[in-house]
Structure 1
Amino acid sequence: MDDLFAPATGAWQRVSPRLATVRRIVIAAIAAPVVIAGIVLAVLLPDQRWIGAAVTVATLPLAAWGGVWAGHNQRTWGYVENADDLLVTRGVMFKRLVAIPYGRMQFVDVQAGPLARAFGIATVTLHTASTETAADIPGLPSDEATRLRNRLTELGESRGAGL
């Protein structure tokens, strides 16, 4: 079954493990205030302490699961630059493979928020006329994101795309 998602040529280029770290920081930044709010509720509302305890008890395992998910998800992202198209794969439970012909790309977008920039990663987004074939490649090291953006732009222009 994994042959269905194997590239015809080449090997998958994987994204940086720093993507998982960034996602874990975001999960912790969301979970920490919720846990603190649950503790504060338990202290301030002694008659209804169960509300604060329920918030805290529900948030901690969800945050832990999110941390595990971040690592698994990061390891599933990959891309291959073929002669005529770019393959992008992802997914733990629901795997997805998208083939984007270079001639169909309209533009290439590179994004990096403050946290991603602090960790030296960026997201490259390939846009086509169809939203189904647009693809993101998150967690690329900044120099690789720049190289990929330049290469895809050159290939798109040489293939008559609207870049």
Structure 2
Amino acid sequence: MTDDAPAVRAPGDPFDPPGLEWSRVSGKLVTARLVPSLTTVGLLAVVGAVVALATGAAWVWVFPTFFVLLALWLLWLVPRQVHAIGYAERADDLLIRKGIMFRTLVVVPYGRMQYLDVQRGPLTRALGLASLQLHTASAGTDASIDGLPAEVAERLRDQLAARGEARLAGL
């Protein structure tokens, strides 16, 4: 089965409600997540190799080897994680799903949104990406969508804010 093939869902799967069109985040999020991770892991591998060369002890090569294997694992894992992120807008709420092994589905009713943040760091700005953070009255709500194209994040922020105000006015 390829990554592009749709996953087989069991009837009544709570992570894939029927009739929803899921929107995906930008594939550039893979780069935004890999650059800092691989930079750190790469530097640790180089330091480990320098120490191994300086000491001449064969067992010290375990450390740079570990970091190289960690880098390879990140190269495999991060694209799969990014591919699993999606969001869907319904009439009364926004759904955000994440995860492959440990899956999460967050449902945020528009009337419960207090405010929305659009965040862009230096790397995400260079890639044309932004993150949208939704804040509700519940401190435990982790409602954020990373890796949105900047114009989509701004449009979504304005659209969700308008829907939230409309639902709040109806209370």
Query: Same fold by TM-score, threshold 0.5 exceeded?
Result: yes
Q: How far, CA to CA, are the matches of 2:141 and 2:101 in structure 1?
A: 20
Of residues 148, 156, 159, the one that matches 1:140 is: 148
Specify the SS of the correspondent of 1:61: helix
Q: How far, CA to CA, are the matches of 2:19 and 2:117 in structure 1?
A: 26
Q: How far, CA to CA, are the matches of 1:134 and 1:21 in structure 2?
A: 23
Of residues 99, 114, 117, the one that matches 1:91 is: 99
**Is the contact made by 1:9 and 1:82 (CA closer than 8 Å) also made in structure 2?**
no
Structure richer in helix, relative to its length: 1
Q: TM-score, normalised by structure 1?
A: 0.91
| Fraction of identical pairs, as percent | 42
Q: Match of 1:50?
A: 59
Q: Match of 1:127?
A: 135
Structure 1, unmatched stretches of 5+, are: none
Equivalent pairs, count: 159
Q: Match of 1:30?
A: 40
**Is the contact made by 2:42 and 2:71 (CA closer than 8 Å) also made in structure 1?**
no
Structure 2, unmatched stretches of 5+, are: 1-8
1:113 aligns with 2:128: no
Q: How far, CA to CA, are the matches of 2:150 and 2:135 in structure 1?
A: 19
Q: Once the 2 structures are TM-superposed, how far is the Cα of residue 4 of structure 1 from its aligned partner?
A: 1.8
Structure 1 residues 43, 134: CA separation in 2 closer, same or farther (over 3 Å shift)?
closer
Q: TM-score, normalised by structure 2?
A: 0.87
Alignment RMSD = 1.5
Q: Once the 2 structures are TM-superposed, how far is the Cα of residue 49 of structure 1 from its aligned partner?
A: 4.5
